[in-house]
Amino acid sequence: MVFLRAQEFYESASPRFKNKDFDIWDYLRWYSVERDVATGTFDYPMDWAAYNIPIKTVVQSLDVFTGEYTPYDIFMDEILHQIFNQYEVGEHDTYLVGVKDLDDKNLAHELSHALWYTEPKFKKEATTLLKEVPADLLTEGKSTLSRMGYHKAVLTDEFIAYTATGDMKRLVKSSDGYKQYEKPFKSLLAKYLTSLKVAA
């Protein structure tokens, strides 16, 4: 819940929330009952186990917000203060990921996003590897991601994060021919993760 405002500001599937100043209650109603795949209950914290957002977007999401801070907004604001004061990092080269703890299996997936955004060499190498993936696998994977609720702007980035962490099977159901394409992505991510500075 702490990440909701920033995450939906960053890449909400709905234009009502992406890049918008929004009320948390409007979001709750939309997610629970108004969106296409709504179940009638607010399943957001169960549906999304981990988060990843550029720091400058987190800052923007709170900057544009004109309502009253919820306890979650206050907590996120504190996280930002801690990051800027304690680590003395700039807004433009820093990325925030949210996972349960450092043993969380989602960490590598979220760090893949962080690398995609902050490390041009990783992005370039991953893009080159993507050219080896057959078009039908890529199309199927991206349409699965779309149905899962990801915004179209992040489908490539998500496809790489799933593939590099051995999760391509969740995206591609039609064949098991995907396995040979996963390997180079896994090695690429492993190579970059060893050189990454992670502050927890």
User: At its nearest, how many Å lie between Zn ion and the CB of residue 90?
Assistant: 24
In terms of Cα–Cα distance, which of 174, 145, 177 is closest to 161? 145
Q: By C-beta, is 158 or 182 nearer to Zn ion? A: 158
Q: How far is the CB of 197 from Zn ion (least distance, A)?
A: 20
Geometric angle at alpha carbon 53, from 12 and 92, rounded to 5°: 125
Q: How far is CA 64 from CA 9, 21, 81, 82, 166, in A?
A: 10, 6, 17, 21, 37
Nearest approach, Cβ of residue 128 and Zn ion (Å): 20
Nearer to Zn ion, 2 or 111 (CB): 111
CB of 97 to Zn ion, least distance (A): 10
Could you give the CA distance from residue 4 to residue 44 in angstroms, rounded to a whole number?
Answer: 9
Task: Tell me which residues touch Zn ion (CB under 5 A).
Answer: 158, 161
The Cα 200–Cα 197 span in angstroms is 10
Residue of closest CB approach to Zn ion? 161
Residue closer to Zn ion (CB basis): 40 or 46: 46
97-115 residues labelled b (16+ CB within 10 A) or e (exposed): bbbeeeeeebbbbbbbbbb
Query: 4-11 and 71-87 are packed helices; what angle lies between their axes, rounded to 10 degrees?
Result: 80
Backbone angles phi, psi at 70, to 5 degrees: -85, 170
Distance of alpha carbon 163 from the chain centroid: 14
Beta carbon nearer to Zn ion, 5 or 113: 113
Q: In terms of CB distance, is 133 or 171 closer to Zn ion?
A: 171
Minimum CB separation of residue 40 from Zn ion in Å reads 26
